Structure 1
Amino acid sequence: MPDTVVITRPRAQAEELARMVAAAGRTAVVLPLLEIEPLADQSQLMQVLAGLDGYAMVAFVSPNAVDAAFAHIQRWPSGVTLAVVGTGSRAALARHGIIDTDIVSPADPAHSDSEHLLESLDLSSLAGRRVLIVRGESGRELMADSLRAAGVLVETVAAYRRSVPQLTPEMKASLAGLLEQQNDWIITSSEALRGLLDLLRQMDADKAVAKMQQQHLIVPHARIADTARALGINRVTLTGSGDERLLAALQSRE
Structure 2
Amino acid sequence: MIHYQKPIILMRPGAANERLAERLGKRGMNIWKWPAFTILPPQDPERVQERLLNLDNFDMVLLASPAAVAASAVYVKQWPQHITLATIGSGTARVIRAAWGEHTPVLYPEGETFESGSERLFELLKSRGFPSRVLIVRGQVGREWLREQLLAHGTDVEVLPAYQRAPLELSSAELEKLQFSISGPAPIVYLTSTDSVGVLMHAVKTVPGALEWIQKGFVLTIHPRPKAQLEEVGFRNVALVSAKDERVQQAIEKLLEIV
- The aligned counterpart of 2:38 is 35
Does residue 226 of structure 2 align to residue 196 of structure 1? no
Structure 1 residue 72 and structure 2 residue 75: aligned? yes
Which of 158, 182, 189 is 1:155 aligned to? 158
Q: Is the 8 A contact 2:61 2:86 kept in 1?
A: yes
The more displaced of 208-217 and 175-184 is 175-184
Structure 1 residues 124 and 100: alpha-carbon distance in aligned structure 2, compared to 1, 3 A threshold:
closer
Given candidates 220, 223, 226, the residue that maps to 1:224 is: 226
Q: State whether residues 135 and 156 of structure 1, in contact with CA within 8 Å, keep that contact through their aligned partners in structure 2.
A: yes
Q: How far apart, CA to CA, are the structure 2 residues paired with 1:37 and 1:70? A: 15
Separation (CA, whole Å) in 2 of partners of 1:87 and 1:24:
27
**In the alignment, what sits opposite 1:169?**
172
The amino acid across from 1:233 in the alignment is F
Match of 1:234 in 2: 236
TM superposition shift of 1:52: 2.6
Letter in 1 for 2:161: A
The answer for the alignment partner of 2:248 in structure 1 is: 246
**Contact map agreement 1:123 1:147 (CA 8 A) in 2:** no
Is 2:219 the partner of 1:187? no
Q: CA deviation at 1:140?
A: 3.6
> What runs of 5+ residues in structure 1 fail to find an aligned partner?
none
Q: How many equivalent residue pairs?
A: 251
Residue 193 of structure 1: how far off its partner (Å):
1.9
Q: Distance in 2 between matches of 1:244 and 1:79?
A: 37
Compute the TM-score of the two structures, normalised by the length of structure 2: 0.87
* Aligned-pair CA distance for 1:19: 2.9
1 CA distance for matches of 2:55 and 2:181?
A: 45
Percent same amino acid among aligned pairs? 28
Summarize deviations over 1:195-250 as a string: whole Å, max 9, x none: 1111222222xx11211111111110111111111221111111244444423422
Structure 2 residue 122 is the aligned partner of structure 1 residue 118: yes
Scaled by the length of structure 1, what TM-score is found? 0.88
Q: In structure 2, do the counterparts of structure 1 residues 107 and 87 end up closer, same or farther at CA, with 3 Å as the change threshold?
A: closer
| Equivalent in the alignment of 1:135 | 138
* CA distance, structure 1, for counterparts of residue 104 and residue 126 of structure 2: 17
Q: Is 1:2–1:184's contact at 8 Å kept on the other side of the alignment?
A: no
Which runs of 5 or more structure 2 residues have no equivalent in the other structure? Answer: none
Question: Is the counterpart of residue 105 in structure 1 residue 108 in structure 2?
Answer: yes
What SS does structure 2 have at the residue aligned with 1:225?
A: helix
Are the structure 2 counterparts of residues 28 and 171 from structure 1 closer, same or farther at C-alpha, using a change threshold of 3 Å? Answer: closer
Q: Take 1:121 and 1:29, find their aligned partners in 2: how far apart are those partners?
A: 39
Change beyond 3 A, Cα 1:44–1:24: same
